[in-house]
Structure 1
Amino acid sequence: MLKNKFKILAVTMSLTLMGSLFTGCGTSKTGGNTTGKSTIKVNIAADPKTIDPGLNNSVEGGHVITNAFEGLTNLDKNEKSVPGVAEKWDVSSDGLTYTFHLRKKAKWSDGKTVKASDFEYAWKRALDPKTASQYAYQLFYLKNGEAYNTGKSTAANVGVKATDDYTLVATLESPTPYFISLTAFPTYAPVRKDIVEKNPTTWATKAETYISNGPFKMVEYKQKDSLNFEKNSNYWNAKNVKIDRIEFKTLENESSYYSAFKTGQLDLIDKPPAAEIPGLLKDGTAKSYPYLGTYFYDINVSPQAKGVNSQAAKVLSDARVRKALNLAIDRTSIVEKISKGGEKPATSFVPLGTSDSNGNEFTNKEYLPKTADVSQAKKLLAEAGYPDGKGFPQLEILYNTMQNHQNIAQAVQDMWKKNLGINITLRNVERKVHLTDLQKHNFLLGRDGWIADYNDAMTFLDMFTTGNGNNNTGYSNTKYDQLIAQAKAEPDKAKRAVLLHSAEDQLMTDLPIIPIYYYTEVVCMNKKLKNVHISNLGFFIFRDASLQK
């Protein structure tokens, strides 16, 4: 009886707290807004670590940046590249030189003209080793981009040049069939040199300095609460932007933000509580969208792992152990009994639906079983010197706050105990700490997820090259690095696809990762909110959205 009483009290306190989070905020037209503005409230599930286009590498930050900034191109509702700041472009016959012609009407939110030099500055800033951008490698397609980032060349030699205020010339290392789609990605967005260099560490944390060039501009940033944006009247296509205000909420608890959606305090959420998903999909409250991504665990195989736990680091350096951990997981059980969003068990790292740029779907291999192969897992663990888990050190799974992450971690914990006889502890931290610990390799096993930056297998594979800013595992294999480098330089699409498959073969042999499932994006949306682009690259884009009266 006391447990139930405390539970009721806890729920009451949670609802009271949730109500306080929205006190004083304007409501959407569906809630009777008296200001006459169409305001929507969107939950992004965490306070972004950063919303600096050159530094962000999280989905929550990406939601904000893709609505505040505009690159040379945009993605339309079919994920095709369409003109953005660049109204047109030319490509040389050898596929190495791109000349972008910028709109003369493109303005920053403070009214100043968007210039080609703003792009040149932004791209070179992201490549500058002093910036320490985890996404610097996404600009290695530029001539001498990697050389500059690794200290072997200078900024002046990087293949991007503003030849005048409205012309930007990009020169590539090798022909890159998806380069145009890359120019819509946040890291390729322009930033203003005068703004950034005046406030290098704080410019992206204050409304007065967060000068952007997209359809929305920041008007208020409440840490751990909301990031509030309004329509940017200086945006070149402002007349077609129908949403007046977006409030990006940062609620991390699924029950809290789902309750807020049910009571009309939020207009859009994703990842509702897993137990609710089947019913929400059935009655149409939620919809499942395509999502090019993989949910997985990083295995820390970096030198820093010794500083976390030297004994565990030694054990995890054995490929037989890493494979045993992979084989002992029942992925089908996880997607059917825990996540429940229509996800597919991940038997490889590159997810289903990804292109090989040769006109085919890339994924055609199953490296891992969909259900656990306990006998083979036990055999490998015994060969590594730990029969039935005897003498095996205790490991720890790091994950960020969300009930689904906790449920999956507990399931994996139970599977490894039952199937291998090994003990696992769990560590739950807020998102910012989670991202920092992954980046600094301050973990043994870490919850991770990767969503495509563009529809090509390369976006899932080049992140595991040696020293890559998004390679949280610390994995390093010379053969793998060479295969990725060869694939990037290979103009023949069929040969390139073979090289990428060989790279994934190597990755899935070494297994510095534990793929769990391929994502789906389950979204609950106010039925009066129309034309929101739920991108399969992981962004909510409101450029063309509208809110019916």
Structure 2
Amino acid sequence: MKTARFGMGAVALVSVVSLTLAGCASSDGGDSGDTNKIITTNGSEPLGPLITVGTTETGGGKILTSIYAGLVSYAADGSIQNDVAESIESEDGQNWTVTLKDGWTFTNGEAVTANSFVDAWTYGATFSNAQASSYFFDNIEGFDYEADSELTGLNVVDDLTFEVALTAPEADWPLRLGYTAYMPLPSVAFEDLEAFGENPIGNGPYMMDGEDAWQHDVQIDLVTNPDYEGVRKPANAGVTFKFYTSQDAAYADVLGGNLDVLDAVPDSAFGLFEEEFGDRAINQPAAIFQAFNIPYYLDHFSGEEGKLRRAAISMSIDRDEITSVIFEGTRTPATDFTSPVVDGYSSSLEGADVLAYNPEEAQKLWAEADAISPFGDATFDIAYNADGGHQGWVDAVANSIKNTLGIEAIGKSYPDFKSSLEDRVAGTLTGATRAGWQADYPSLYNFLAPLYQTGAGSNYEGYTSPEFDALLKEGAQAQSVDEATALYQQAQEVLLEDLPSIPLWYSNATGVYADTVSNVEFGWDSVPLYYQITAN
């Protein structure tokens, strides 16, 4: 298993850009195997209708990337390759011309045209439509965070050509375009988008297996799209995503041959999975960051008092011990807010010492906070979803905080991810909450903007910092890799000061697969490349 480094360097950042992405043939995955079998894998119940511009969580995202094809797609190492796009070109990094390949259709027979992209992006960016991925379009001319407005930067030239005018040069802009928010939508979607999202019509390698394909809280059944001719041509007959209430149950099914692929090994199996599965075990770096967030609306966690308590809690966590004992080498203690596999990662940011275990300093800071307003006998809880295999580490983190600060600290279990997110969205958490990020595209920016930018779709705890926002914007408009990286690192130093999120560790992609399948490869984002998997 190789570790690839990637990021904005995948697209040269220069003052004058002429970029035509090479079309790449998909891998045949070795032996063809039985192409008539459905592959089974684990998943989670999507939080809402499957809408490209409205889905920001991993469970729904894995489905959407399977049933849609965008302008580009990501190879296993995070590099981009043309899918629907024939070319994506710019002379200045600000004004782009996108040319589509001819002959693409949605599974209802409708042609994929320039309007399929422009209409989808416009809908996603429109303020009153309240789509969670709207901020992905904030760099296009005409975008408005506070009112409906036309995206004046989008212009359809003809059926196969459209132009995009950005608010400032962004030479790495094409790197974003494999993310689901930029996928096309057929015209029928806009008749009733929520209803459409229950049985979406895509243009990707897979499609929904009839009207009953989505059995809520049970599974989603996908079959191959016979008309797909892109770079992800399936080597199987389809994929069924089974929704498990626990990772242990999913792991037991792989052991028993009742599940083909599992993309998240439970912590109870960390010491066993490589021995039990041998060369069918995956343990490789991935673009996944894990943390927990403390809402500013909680008593004792805002203002100067809150700043002291956040730092004290961070310093009271023994990350080295937890990653060694609980995760058995499948995690690495965090030194920033991104991932070691993304270009620009740093282990030496100013202020990163707040992420080191320092019980004496933690106790000192906690006492200073108590001098402002006593914490008393209040309980500090950390919310988590029980179906995600988080109980072990949450209990360990809570114990580390409890033992260091002498306060009551506990985990607070929710049955599933959906229910845990509801209190985050509603702003009704009683304490901290498990948080994390699996990158949408391989860039430092993607680890920062969706989570901490003011008003961003996944900024559930409502963090806002004009200084952070300004550095983020300046970095996005930088003309070189080095300049952009330096600005994103400065932005992270603001986060280390404010600690809207307490970084914990980076996750490896850990997975296993049964002897029922072959040609299993996990991508840069820890998601298996489903289309390559063959049944034995």
TM-score > 0.5, shorter chain as reference: yes
Q: Tell me by how many angstroms 1:478 deviates.
A: 1.6
Q: Tell me by how many angstroms 1:265 deviates.
A: 1.1
Which stretch of the first structure deviates more once superposed, 120-129 or 434-443?
434-443
Tell me which of 406, 419, 431 is aligned to 2:417: 431
The residue aligned with 2:287 is 292
Alignment CA distance shift 1:387-1:484 (3 Å):
closer
State the AA in 2 paired with 1:191. L
Q: Distance in 2 between matches of 1:291 and 1:493?
A: 21
Is structure 2 residue 337 aligned with structure 1 residue 343?
no
Is structure 2 residue 42 aligned with structure 1 residue 43?
yes
Question: Would you identify which runs of 4 or more consecutive aligned residues in structure 1 move more than 6 Å?
Answer: none
Q: Tell me by how many angstroms 1:391 deviates.
A: 1.6
Gaps of 5+ in 1: 1-31
Alpha-carbon contact 1:327-1:369 (below 8 Å) kept: yes
Alignment CA distance shift 1:108-1:536 (3 Å):
same
State the AA in 2 paired with 1:504. Q
The residue aligned with 1:212 is 202
After superposition, residues 134-173 of structure 1 pair within 5 angstroms as 134-145=132-143, 147=144, 149-151=145-147, 154-157=149-152, 159-173=153-167
Alpha-carbon contact 1:49-1:432 (below 8 Å) kept: no
Q: Deviations over 1:249-285 (max 9, x none)?
A: 1113122111111111111002222232233224334
DSSP-derived class of the 2:222 partner? strand
The residue aligned with 1:507 is 495
State the AA in 1 paired with 2:208. M
Alpha-carbon contact 1:315-1:321 (below 8 Å) kept: no
DSSP-derived class of the 2:96 partner? strand
Q: Deviations over 1:326-378 (max 9, x none)?
A: 0000111211111235210112212222213xxxx445437146652110000
After superposition, residues 24-423 of structure 1 pair within 5 angstroms as 37-91=36-90, 93-145=91-143, 147=144, 149-151=145-147, 154-157=149-152, 159-194=153-188, 196-206=189-199, 210-219=200-209, 220-237=213-230, 240-282=233-275, 283-301=278-296, 305=297, 311-313=299-301, 318-356=306-344, 361-365=345-349, 367-368=352-353, 372-385=357-370, 391=376, 393-402=378-387, 404-423=389-408
Alpha-carbon contact 2:49-2:194 (below 8 Å) kept: no
Which stretch of the first structure deviates more once superposed, 457-466 or 213-222?
457-466
State the AA in 2 paired with 1:132. A
Alpha-carbon contact 1:62-1:539 (below 8 Å) kept: no
Which stretch of the first structure deviates more once superposed, 77-86 or 283-292?
283-292
Q: Distance in 2 between matches of 1:140 and 1:514?
A: 27
Alpha-carbon contact 1:73-1:84 (below 8 Å) kept: yes
Is structure 2 residue 474 aligned with structure 1 residue 490?
no
Q: Distance in 2 between matches of 1:440 and 1:134?
A: 15
State the AA in 2 paired with 1:460. F
The residue aligned with 1:24 is none
Alignment CA distance shift 1:367-1:136 (3 Å):
same
Q: CA RMSD in A?
A: 2.5
Alpha-carbon contact 1:378-1:387 (below 8 Å) kept: no
Q: Deviations over 1:357-405 (max 9, x none)?
A: xxxx445437146652110000001111269986253232111123631
Q: Tell me by how many angstroms 1:290 deviates.
A: 2.5
Q: Tell me by how many angstroms 1:88 deviates.
A: 2.1
Which stretch of the first structure deviates more once superposed, 105-114 or 311-320?
311-320
State the AA in 2 paired with 1:96. Q
Tell me which of 412, 426, 437 is aligned to 1:450: 437
Q: Deviations over 1:85-140 (max 9, x none)?
A: 1122322x211122121121211011221111010011111111122222221222
Q: Deviations over 1:296-324 (max 9, x none)?
A: 001101xxx2xxx5x34558962001100
Alpha-carbon contact 1:348-1:368 (below 8 Å) kept: no
Q: Tell me by how many angstroms 1:470 deviates.
A: 1.3
Alpha-carbon contact 2:316-2:357 (below 8 Å) kept: yes
Q: Tell me by how many angstroms 1:230 deviates.
A: 0.5
The residue aligned with 1:441 is 427
**TM-score, scaled relative to structure 1:** 0.84
Q: Tell me by how many angstroms 1:427 deviates.
A: 2.3
**TM-score, scaled relative to structure 2:** 0.86
State the AA in 1 paired with 2:475. A
State the AA in 2 paired with 1:103. K
Q: Tell me by how many angstroms 1:450 deviates.
A: 0.7
Alignment CA distance shift 1:101-1:314 (3 Å):
closer
Q: Distance in 1 between matches of 2:61 and 2:388?
A: 22
DSSP-derived class of the 1:144 partner? coil
Alpha-carbon contact 1:258-1:269 (below 8 Å) kept: yes
Q: Deviations over 1:26-72 (max 9, x none)?
A: xxxxxx99xx8211101024445442111111111111111100001
Gaps of 5+ in 2: 1-32
The residue aligned with 1:460 is 447
Q: Deviations over 1:215-248 (max 9, x none)?
A: 1000111001110011111223499432112111
Q: Distance in 1 between matches of 2:434 and 2:316?
A: 17
- Structure with greater helix percent: 1
